Structure 1
């Protein structure tokens, strides 16, 4: 699936990326399993970066900015998602540091109007040899900067915890 901005609704910051919930993603109660929300966000981010020329083919030394580790992750669940189908991941960058990046996400309806879960994840870019923090490339920083969330979002914006 190619990353495309959803046309039906715009978001005040970041980007909406299509995601699909399958029947087997639901738990015994018929709700999207709690572990699937961050997985949907991860897949959306992977597609977003892949479509911009970033990827991983098994060689960590050549992976560049894709050689990163998770320092922190937080997810808050707002309401159950109870049906398979097309949804969206609203993605944005909350903080862009020299070696770290905090991104926010919402798993939401395809038009972005209804939120099911939201959260954030902190990534640290690491050197493939030393596994020590190393700076993001200028290219990655430029792309990430396009998704920076304004410091004072609209009063009605969701995911304030991210």
Structure 2
């Protein structure tokens, strides 16, 4: 070693600190983990309740697939609407008023202005008919309403 402070022989290696330990976790990590542990059961319960609340939709879609004719579509929609919106609000509606409810709750105009407007005639009128294309369109409109309408909360 030299007495000259600028001599390169006087340099020493850089001493690095020991690596940071992963344990124990920092307080922020514990807070995030606690939040996740609380969120998982809450999300699971909400998903389970939503699944149970939508059982009527799945059943109605199954019945729509197995419907023997187009006259079965409107009573099926009526039963689903009663479950979704309550007997007090839906049971007294028929014909154009019920179709207007379907349009309002489904965010569409398919029931009052499309081929589905003919569905009450199939149920209530003797000898009423629809073309196969109109039946297919009305069935698709019913399926769309069953999937997309917003049921009341509660």
Structures share fold, TM-score greater than 0.5: no
Higher relative contact order (CA 8 A, sep 6+): 1
- If each structure's strand is expressed as a fraction of its own residues, which one has the higher value? 1
Q: Please say which structure displays the higher CA radius of gyration.
A: 2
TM-score by length of 2: 0.26
TM-score by length of 1: 0.25
